[in-house]
Structure 1
């Protein structure tokens, strides 16, 4: 049986083991399989869910459609790690096999309570007319990692004034009460976030809409996440339906945050500043955070976007998760840094330093497919300087600083197989300080670039030929000095 898109709601247990094995064989034959990122064994991965620390391990779940690289029947898949670097696939965590999640186990979050992990998620159902009816559901994981769903949903109706797009609850505890923000769409088709509360995680109340100053800001707010950091309140969410404004909002859908005062749970309001995109690249959505035992606020996101086709689709799989990042507040904005545990991946090290003028140069040892690279520039009088990587005869991905525009630019026009070209092949952001540092994590089909120690980040999938390995440093319109260090990972 060919697994066609029209069979998107077929369950894994309705497919023969032979078909599954054939699909996995096709997936494993793909040259773009990642090496140090979380990726699905087959099919499609999307939103990260339930990120938590429990019994000495980090647990991370994600939405998973196992039977192909398209958005079909969603399961929760479970992976775990002791160090945020080496992840072990545990297997399916939540199956969509009850009346309240019959058409998919959608996004949610986790919290420890009474020695167990409680997972609050949205169950997707559709009636005989194929109309959506969301439920909010609880599953409980014990110390042996057995996961049992409650026999009924804990919130089975959408509140008056909102459409069926009511999903993705994110949990936290305040005093003796549990709260969750949940993504919603008003009946006037405007996106927003609502508040839920519970005394025991088993019965939930709708508290109302969270008041913000973002009015008419897209048609749906997905995957909200509220937390407090350095005595301030942060609301992360993924608004759909924003129109591009200059260099902003260039992807099909966005992901970002507002930073302000702590949430006022009595008034149900959040006083905050402007909405800021978390990532300036092409492929970043549905970010999800947790606080670890060291007090760090950690973030992972889906390295992909809805409604965009990717070159790995033909190999039967799609998407991965970003590397874990630590969030901090600096000068009134969130900065993101790769977690320090990633340094354990570093193997062979090479270094170089030079002053380049109106030229492009390569250096011994600076090439590869999978590596970490840190390059620090001194601008001099160059109008533009940067790095070409995963470069070959006809391919290259470029990160550069344009001093005339005062912008960092990521260009994947020639990065290999084309992705989402309708939305352009460059991403730019203005930056007020001098750009002196590019920190790249390059995997088989992705790059994450931290600019100026995480002041800005560019996350993108790229699909070049395996032969495209060169790293080239360049300066145009003048001179720039730089020093660079590279570590191979494998």
Structure 2
């Protein structure tokens, strides 16, 4: 299907043949770069994680999905459940763009649990391409849509208005929405409600004169131990150094006093949540044991990937537990993922690799370097020197998106010994350094992963089994 003709991005699943769906599914799952332990689409494009929650022991994971190709087209919500993050049930499409208020797409949103009810809030793009906040109820494996609860107001924002985040303080329901002001400034409009589906505009969250570009997407907010934690995805930030905001879009967070009725949020410092090439639109939720768990979109919205030719695009990150430490967030791979570990080996300076899905736990001190190789000419590397971390993909077999650079840098926070964990899954790498305060998430493309070289580090290697996804 030719998606350079943008009209084709509004084609609906029922208007294409089963033969076409079977074809794009087959090319997807046969792709050498398709992951084994990440959630990825069976075909088409995945982007934002949505509606994350746990209900009576079962985790529910939704994601935005365009089924027909590796482009941003008519968005649906696809639905998976799991009890252990290893075995998943895939219920297929849980929300279709089939009402007048979301006819041009069911975009980002979340689930707010209250008692036995699971309220769904999402962005619906109507037949006139107007964005509104829509509401529904999660009922088993489907979402019962109810309609629009907050309409786009051109006195408050431009057409850029999306991604509701709902929480409750005392007896009041709060909602943050991502937006762009009528003056082209990134804002977070705030709404209050006495019930879960009646909201009134209160003003914009005051971020204390921090400049975050022209648009703020995907706000998330929660409170823990007397602190308010806010993160969002700003668009239009520029940086004069090579450490910060090098991607087309990034994710930033701040920790301050809880938001009150004066709508002030007083975080003194904001940090990028991820220093890699491919991390966006994360969403967090609190599970029934009290953990805060996060998934992100492991992808980039302004990039054509080498794997796009096989009719799929993007995946979700591995699930991560989020812990507040002072004014920093710590990201830790979820404990359940250790069940994927298979063959264990000690790290050696030069190791042959039998498969492209593995985990490393490295003990490092001063300088160290790791290279993941197809050949001596084609590889990616990650290194740590006295002050910096450097992820380098300038020697990949398949280069792409070079206008945003081929290296990513982060300042080193821990100067003494530490452990660094690395997860590799065919065409993705996730690196956890500084005890989880510095994270790099990226795609990379080698024709074949055959070898690994390690300088000045010791530790363990595990081959990783695949997650199991069963269609329901």
TM-score interval, normalised by the smaller of the two chains: over 0.9
Offset of residue 318 of structure 1:
0.3
Offset of residue 118 of structure 1:
1.2
- Distance, in Å, in 2 between the alignment partners of 1:214 and 1:33 is 43
1:357: which partner in 2? Answer: none
- Distance, in Å, in 2 between the alignment partners of 1:32 and 1:15 is 26
2:435: which partner in 1? Answer: 453
Q: Which runs of 4+ in 1 moved over 6 A?
A: none
User: Please, which runs of 5 or more residues in structure 1 have no aligned partner?
Assistant: 354-360, 475-479
The superposition leaves residues 219-272 of structure 1 with CA deviations (integer Å, 9 ceiling, x where unpaired) of 1000000111232111100000011231110000110101111111x1111111
Pair 1:180 & 2:162 matched: no
Q: Is the 8 A contact 2:158 2:179 kept in 1?
A: yes
1:356: which partner in 2? Answer: none
Q: Secondary structure at the match of 1:155?
A: strand
- Distance, in Å, in 2 between the alignment partners of 1:204 and 1:437 is 47
1:67: which partner in 2? Answer: 68
The superposition leaves residues 353-401 of structure 1 with CA deviations (integer Å, 9 ceiling, x where unpaired) of 7xxxxxxx314x666411111110233xxxx421112442422111101
Offset of residue 325 of structure 1:
0.8
Offset of residue 114 of structure 1:
4.7
In structure 1, which of residues 463, 472, 489 is the aligned counterpart of residue 453 of structure 2? 472
Q: Is the 8 A contact 1:166 1:183 kept in 2?
A: yes
- Distance, in Å, in 2 between the alignment partners of 1:411 and 1:444 is 17
The change in CA–CA distance for 1:390 and 1:230 in structure 2 (over 3 A counts) is farther
- Distance, in Å, in 2 between the alignment partners of 1:14 and 1:4 is 18
Which runs of structure 2 are paired with 1:94-243 in the superposition (5 Å)? Answer: 94-127=95-128, 132-142=129-139, 144-150=140-146, 152-158=147-153, 160-243=155-238
2:350: which partner in 1? Answer: 362
The change in CA–CA distance for 1:221 and 1:64 in structure 2 (over 3 A counts) is same
- Distance, in Å, in 2 between the alignment partners of 1:272 and 1:318 is 35
TM-score (norm 1): 0.91
Between 1:327-336 and 1:178-187, the stretch displaced more is: 327-336
Offset of residue 409 of structure 1:
0.5
Pair 1:77 & 2:64 matched: no
1:477: which partner in 2? Answer: none
Which runs of structure 2 are paired with 1:257-268 in the superposition (5 Å)? Answer: 257-264=253-260, 266-268=261-263
Pair 1:412 & 2:393 matched: yes
In structure 2, which of residues 412, 417, 437 is the aligned counterpart of residue 431 of structure 1? 412
In structure 1, which of residues 247, 254, 261 is the aligned counterpart of residue 250 of structure 2? 254
Q: Is the 8 A contact 1:179 1:197 kept in 2?
A: yes
Between 1:230-239 and 1:324-333, the stretch displaced more is: 324-333
The superposition leaves residues 267-312 of structure 1 with CA deviations (integer Å, 9 ceiling, x where unpaired) of 1111112220000100000011001111111111000111111111
- Distance, in Å, in 1 between the alignment partners of 2:154 and 2:53 is 29
Between 1:279-288 and 1:189-198, the stretch displaced more is: 189-198
- Distance, in Å, in 2 between the alignment partners of 1:326 and 1:471 is 28
Pair 1:343 & 2:363 matched: no
TM-score (norm 2): 0.94
Q: Secondary structure at the match of 2:25?
A: helix
1:26: which partner in 2? Answer: 27
- Distance, in Å, in 1 between the alignment partners of 2:148 and 2:401 is 38
- Distance, in Å, in 1 between the alignment partners of 2:103 and 2:155 is 23
- Distance, in Å, in 1 between the alignment partners of 2:142 and 2:326 is 44
Q: Is the 8 A contact 2:234 2:250 kept in 1?
A: yes
The superposition leaves residues 396-419 of structure 1 with CA deviations (integer Å, 9 ceiling, x where unpaired) of 11110122xx00001011133223
How many residues end up aligned between the 2 structures?
462
- Distance, in Å, in 2 between the alignment partners of 1:163 and 1:2 is 31
1:377: which partner in 2? Answer: 364
1:35: which partner in 2? Answer: 36
Offset of residue 159 of structure 1:
5.5
Q: Is the 8 A contact 1:391 1:397 kept in 2?
A: no
- Distance, in Å, in 1 between the alignment partners of 2:2 and 2:414 is 54
In structure 2, which of residues 460, 463, 466 is the aligned counterpart of residue 488 of structure 1? 463
Q: Is the 8 A contact 1:439 1:453 kept in 2?
A: no
The change in CA–CA distance for 1:84 and 1:198 in structure 2 (over 3 A counts) is farther
The change in CA–CA distance for 1:366 and 1:9 in structure 2 (over 3 A counts) is closer
Between 1:36-45 and 1:195-204, the stretch displaced more is: 195-204
Q: C-alpha root-mean-square deviation of aligned residues, in Å?
A: 1.7
